[in-house]
Amino acid sequence: MKKTIWILLLCFSGWAYSQATTSPSATATPTTGKTNKMPLIVGGVLEAGSGVLANGDHGTGLVRVTPLIGAWLNGLGYLRLGYGLYSYVQEPEDGEKREIDHRDFSAQLGISLGFGPYLQGSYTRAKNLSDAGDVVWDEYGFGLGTFFTLGPKSALVFEIEYRFISEHYDPFENETVSGTRLQMNIGFVVYVY
């Protein structure tokens, strides 16, 4: 969690720097009023959902926080790649505590529906690693999203997607897990140049 906070602070400082160094002589675009020299972005996304969660439970809660990098072309679409990691402790009914390291790699592709809303498709490869055994599964999703420009170099993103969680065996709960999740993503992106 500390690493994620540091990455988000780095993104915020990049946004603050971009606000201070924006040249008023840049060529205007319909959405931001300024152009970006490169479509490269950094940022982070908070994912919350209802359905099958990252620890295999069914319910509503925080799924993950994912730092990301990518390319975003206003009016066309984007490609985002993220890698998230965190640890948590699980205490099953038998009383034995287990420390679980969660890792996930995600890729997301969005296609613009004009300036603002976009269709998105996502893929996530997730892992829970522990001494008791490792769990690996895939998640596929599709949905809709939009962004709200905060300045010429930054934006908030809001997305709703439906996720399919592939069937996998969870040695921690001694059961097979699969299902779906309705998920909401709230994020922050900054153009780095």
CATH at residue 130: 2.40.160.20
pLDDT of residue 32: 46
Read off the pLDDT band of 27 (50, 70, 90). very low
Higher-scoring residue by pLDDT: 71, 28: 71
Q: Which domain holds residue 154?
A: 2-191
Which pLDDT belongs to residue 15?
Answer: 47
Percent share of the chain, pLDDT over 70: 76
Buried b (16+ CB within 10 A) or exposed e, 59-77: eeeebbbbbbebebebeeb
Task: Give 45's pLDDT tier (boundaries 50, 70, 90).
Answer: very high
With residues binned 3-state (H G I as helix, E B as strand, rest as coil), the percentages for the chain, rounded to 5, are 10, 65, 25
What is the count of structural domains for the chain? 1
pTM score, two decimals? 0.74
Query: Residue 163 above 60 pLDDT?
Result: yes
Q: Give the contacts of 109 (CB within 8 A, at least 6 positions apart).
A: 77, 78, 79, 120, 121, 122
The yes-or-no verdict on residue 70 having pLDDT over 50 is yes
Q: Residue 87 contacts by C-beta under 8 Å, 6 or more apart in sequence?
A: 99, 100, 101, 102
- What pLDDT does residue 110 have? 93
**Tokens matching residue 53:** 């969660």
Dig out the tokens for 38 from the structure. Answer: 């490169």
Name the band, by pLDDT with cuts 50, 70 and 90, for residue 169.
confident
